[in-house]
Amino acid sequence: MLIQTQVDPYNKVIATIKSCKTKSQLEGASRMVENFKTLYKNVGYPKLLSYSLDETLKQQYIKTICQL
């Protein structure tokens, strides 16, 4: 149960990033990623998840810009 609780916020941030359709939504998602990293850095969240958030945001940004 502990693992599910720790991964759930990460999955919510990923879902938010993937749902972005505009540049302003991506800017909000970027702030959300930074807040996530700041909050969970103090409790020792794995850096791999932080990297994954950055990469997902980058890919969504590229996808969104190409569609505009």
The tens digit of pLDDT for each residue in 21-62 reads 999 999 999 999 999 999 888 887 788 889 999 999 999 999
Q: What is the pLDDT of residue 56?
A: 97
Closest to 29 measured CA to CA, from 6, 44, 12, 4: 12
Q: What is the pLDDT of residue 34?
A: 95
For the entire predicted model, the pTM comes to 0.82
Across the range 8-27, mean pLDDT stands at: 94
Q: Are the CB atoms for 4 and 42 separated by under 8 Å?
A: no
Q: If pLDDT is split at 50, 70 and 90, which confidence band does 6 have?
A: low
Q: Greater confidence, 61 or 6?
A: 61
